[in-house]
Amino acid sequence: MIDKLLINLALTAGTGKGEVNIPQLTAEVVVHNVLNIMYFLLGVIAVIVIIVAGITYSTSSGNQASITKAKNMILYAVIGIVVVISAYAITNFIIDRF
């Protein structure tokens, strides 16, 4: 029953002539999409680290070890964002050229 439903759904989503419209992806598109997803996730992780570092800094109560830890977390997260943006620019340049 489910297989007939899926076939009917695929046929109605196609061209309307009883053909199934399946998109054709090239390796370039797949690599580009995977890299963009990875860059997005790395950016989100870096922002989360910055937020955690801000909370750590705010709740340090003058403790020098906590302040240093928070500052280092922010520094490394910003360096990570710069690396991710650079990698994004370089890979998009290379993919567009080839």
Domain limits for position 41: 25-97
Is 4 within the bounds of a domain? no
pLDDT tens digit string along 47-58?
Answer: 999 999 999 999
Q: Quick check: pTM over 0.85?
A: no
Q: Is residue 60 part of a domain?
A: yes
Q: What are phi and psi of 17, to 5 degrees?
A: -110, 20
What Å distances lie between residue 22 and 9, 10, 11, 13, 28, CA to CA? 12, 9, 10, 10, 18
**pLDDT tens string 65-76:** 999 999 999 999
Write the CA distances from 13 to 3, 26, 62, 80, integer angstroms: 15, 22, 62, 42
- Residue 13, domain member (yes or no): no
CA–CA dist 97, 95 (Å, integer): 5
- Look at residue 77 and tell me whether its pLDDT is greater than 90: yes
Instruction: Tell me how many domains the chain contains.
Output: 1
Residue 40 belongs to a domain: yes
Please give the pLDDT value at position 18.
58
In the structure, what pLDDT confidence band is assigned to residue 29 with cuts at 50, 70 and 90? confident
